[in-house]
Amino acid sequence: MPITDPVKRIFIFGAGGSAFLPILKSLTGKSDPRICLLPTAIADNPTTINYWYERCVELGIKGFAQRMFISSYEQQKSFEEVLLSMDAILVTGGNTLNMLAIWKAHGIDSVLRKAWEQGIILSGGSAGSLCWFEHGTTDSRPQKITRIDCLGFLQGSHCPHYDSEQSRRPLYHSFIRSREFKPGYACDDKAAIVFHDQDVHEVVALDEGSNAYYVHLDNEDVIETKLKKTVIYPA
């Protein structure tokens, strides 16, 4: 039989992460998957890392955390060795701009693309969802939410926090309307999308009121298409 390339999978959500962790575990298809937290966007915050390990113990996950603020004395394995040994990689929220700059300096952007192409699931919310697209809206700079160019694994644009931050939706619409943004996907905080390659495979939400959308331009009108979802309840 011919060898087929693995399905490239990305699992994004509007915000948070802990509530969606059981779903990420199930997507790996393993009872005790190796999942690595990438907390770069929050400067490797130790409180978040400690909570991550607690949740992994609760859910039967072999948890890891790859810090970026390290020294050669502390870590003997390369970033590539660590990340490519995982079943999934979970990126936290935080400052997307700083995170991408640090990743680029260390070559993490290239490692993550390799991981994705090898079938390792990439995931995250907020900064951790935005980073996989070509561009989107970010609060990484002072004064106002602005545009940011990202890794471009997924084609098009993205807007997280669609229902929880008042300025996000109209700003995203304005970027779509001006054609500064390509069409793309928006997620309420408690909604999530599973992509297989470039296609939406599944949409899930933690409650009835949360949704994910495909947002595009029809003539001069911005159209939101609500994606069909499955409602689940957090563990």
Residues acting as catalytic residues: 126, 161
Are 135 and 157 within 8 A, CB to CB?
yes
Furthest-apart CA atoms within the chain: distance in Å = 58
CA 88 – CA 12 distance, rounded (Å): 12
CA 16 – CA 34 distance, rounded (Å): 20
